[in-house]
Amino acid sequence: MFVFGHLGVTLGVVFLALRLLKLRTKLEIKFNRRLYLFVFTGSLLPDLIDKPVGEILLAGSISNGRIFAHTLLFNFLLLLFCLWLYKRSGSREGREGSREEREGREGSREGSREGSREGRGLGGNKNGFGFLLFSFASFLHLCEDRMWLTPETLFFPVFGFEFPQGAVESHWWDFFLGCFFGTYSPLRGAELSYVFVSEMVGFSVLLAFGLHHFHSFILRYRMSNQRWSSR
C-alpha cells in the first residue's frame, strides 16, 4: 500500500471506529486538526522509519523497507509509550480542570458546570486521546500492508533476529521509482493490483472528507455573512 492508501484507509477505519464507540458509549469525539495530525502521522509512521533505514541506509545489504517498525514488538512498545503519554496528559488536564473549577465556583456556577462536562469528555483527557489514535493508526498500517504474509517480520524476533532479504537495487532511488510506477499500474499480471485498489479507495476517502469540510466551510462563511448583513 502506498501513501494515499495508508492515509485514506486508516482515516476511514478510525472514523468508523469512533462512530461505533459513540453508539456503544454515547461518547462523541469530533475530529479536529490535532486528531487528523495524529491519525495521518501514525498511518505513515512504519514507512517513515523503515523506508529510509532499510532502502537508503541499508540499501546495499538488506534492502528491505519493512523491518523494525513493521513488527508487532515495535507497535506494542509504541502502544505502551502512547498510554503513558495519555495518562500523563490526563493528569495534567485534571490538575488544570480542578483549578478552573475552583475559580469557577468563585465566579459563575454555570461556567463551572460547563467546564466539568467538557472535562469528562474522555475521562478528563480529551487532548491525550490523540496519542491512542496515533498508536492505533500505526497498527492499522501493518494490517493494510498484510504483514501476516511475512511472519518473520511481523513476529520479530520469534523466528530469528534477521529480516527477509530484499532485492538490492543499483541505486536506492530505483526502489522508490519502482514503487511509484508499480502502485499506479491497475494490473499485476492477470489480476487486479491490491496496491492500486487500496490507493483508489484511500484517495476516495480523502476526497470525501475534503469535500465534507469544504462544504462545512462554505456554510459557515454564508452564515457569517448573513449575520453581518443583518446588522
Residue environment code for 97-123, b if the CB has 16+ CB neighbours within 10 A, otherwise e: beebeeebeeeeeeebeebeeebeebe
In this predicted structure, what is the pLDDT of residue 180?
Answer: 80
Task: Report the C-alpha gap between 201 and 222 in whole angstroms.
Answer: 32
Query: Which of 115-119, 199-203, 223-227 reaches the highest mean pLDDT?
Result: 199-203
| Residue 86 or 186, more confident | 86
Position 182 pLDDT exceeds 70 = yes
pLDDT for 124: 46
pLDDT (0 to 100) of residue 115: 44
Q: Sort 201 into a burial class: Cβ within 10 Å, 0-12 / 13-18 / 19+.
A: middle
**pLDDT tens digits, 36-52:** 999 999 999 999 999 99
pLDDT at 149: 95
pLDDT bin (cut points 50, 70, 90) of residue 15 is very high
3-state SS of 49-97 is HHHHHHHHHCCCCCCCCCCHHHCHHHHHHHHHHHHHHHHHHHHHHHHHH
Element (H, E) at 215: helix 194-230
Distance CA 61, CA 59 (A): 6
Kindly indicate the confidence band of residue 206, based on its pLDDT and cuts at 50, 70 and 90.
very high
Q: What is the DSSP string of 9-50?
A: HHHHHHHHHHHHHHHHH-------HHHHHHHHHHHHHHHHHH
Percent of the chain topping pLDDT 70? 82
Distance from C-alpha of 8 to C-alpha of 198, rounded to nearest angstrom: 9
Residue 101: predicted pLDDT: 58
What total of structural domains would you count in the chain? 1
The radius of gyration of the chain from alpha carbons, rounded to an integer in Å, stands at: 22
**Residue carrying the nine cell digits 505502551:** 80
Contact in structure between 50 and 65 (CB atoms under 8 Å): yes
On average, the pLDDT of the chain sits at: 83
Burial of 189 (0-12, 13-18, 19+ CB in 10 A): exposed
Q: What is the pTM of this model?
A: 0.81
Higher pLDDT, 61 or 11: 11
> Which contiguous run of DSSP H or E holds residue 191?
strand 191-192
Is 119 in contact with 104 (CB distance < 8 Å)? Answer: no
Residue 57: domain span:
3-230
pLDDT at 78: 97
Pick from 43-52, 89-98, 111-120, 142-151: least confident: 111-120
Structure-model confidence comparison of residues 114 and 139, the more confident one: 139
pLDDT digits (tens, 9 = 90+) for 49-83: 999 999 889 888 888 999 999 999 999 999 999 99
Percentage with pLDDT > 90 across the chain: 49
- Residue 100 in this model has a pLDDT that exceeds 70: no
pLDDT in tens, 17-39: 998 888 888 777 777 888 999 99
